[in-house]
Amino acid sequence: MRRRLVDSPDSWGARRRARRALWLSDTFPDLAQMSVIDLGGRVDTWERATVRPKHVHVVNLEPLPGELPEWAELDYGDACALPEHIAKRRYDLVFSNSVIEHVGGHERRVRFAESVHTLADAHWVQTPYRFFPIEPHWVAPGMQFLPTSLRTSVAHRWPLSHTPAKDRATAMQNVLWTELIDKTQMRHYFPRSTIRPERFLGLIKSMIAYKLPG
């Protein structure tokens, strides 16, 4: 069921992601000539992209894969506390998709935003909207509004979760590292950005904070 809803190439979720990718290329028409740092992303996202930047530097806390395409660079690193060899570099665009809600609380989100503002003049930061009625990681109605114990139970047993938990302790870790934010918080972290809502049936599903170069 989850695959049909959000994961398969022809799913509803895939169509939403394709539309968002079109927004990105429309917002930054020079994307194909840009150097991009992707905080918390994956190289394969850009391999599937309709418009691929000239150079993509992915920074993630996941294990590093083997071979990379010539246009890609990959580093193991914390986007909230970047290693000096990354922090001192400059890029044309900072990109991040569904990461800021996983970094670990307000203080860490502030540091994440500081990284975004430091690395480039332009950015595109997307995150799910807290008050959309379906929690996106588990595709569970209203899950984000439940007490932690109940969210943990849902995360442990719910069949549509993104990453099924092998036990309750893992489910709680997944819950505690997922904190959806609202528009007021997004404006606080990105005060000079345009906040673009992505809507479904008139309701805000996700938000994109973007800033053009200059």
Statement: residue 6 has pLDDT above 90? no
Answer yes or no: pTM beyond 0.95.
Answer: no
In this model, does residue 36 exceed pLDDT 90? yes
Q: Is residue 214 predicted with pLDDT exceeding 70?
A: yes
Average the pLDDT over 130-138 and give the result: 96
Return the domain boundaries, the chain: 2-132+179-211, 138-177
Model confidence at 162, pLDDT cuts 50, 70, 90, reads confident
pLDDT at 171: 96
What is the rounded CA–CA span in Å between residue 204 and residue 98?
15
Fold for the domain defined by 2-132+179-211: Rossmann fold (3.40.50)
Higher pLDDT, 110 or 50: 110
* pLDDT tens, residue by residue, 79-126: 999 999 999 999 999 999 999 999 999 999 999 999 999 999 999 999
User: Could you tell me the pLDDT band of residue 160, with boundaries at 50, 70 and 90?
Assistant: confident
pLDDT tens per residue across span 9-24: 665 556 777 788 899 9
Task: Give the per-residue pLDDT at 12.
Answer: 55
Q: What was the pLDDT predicted at 3?
A: 55
Q: What pLDDT shows up at residue 20?
A: 85
Give the Cα separation of 143 and 137 in Å (integer): 10
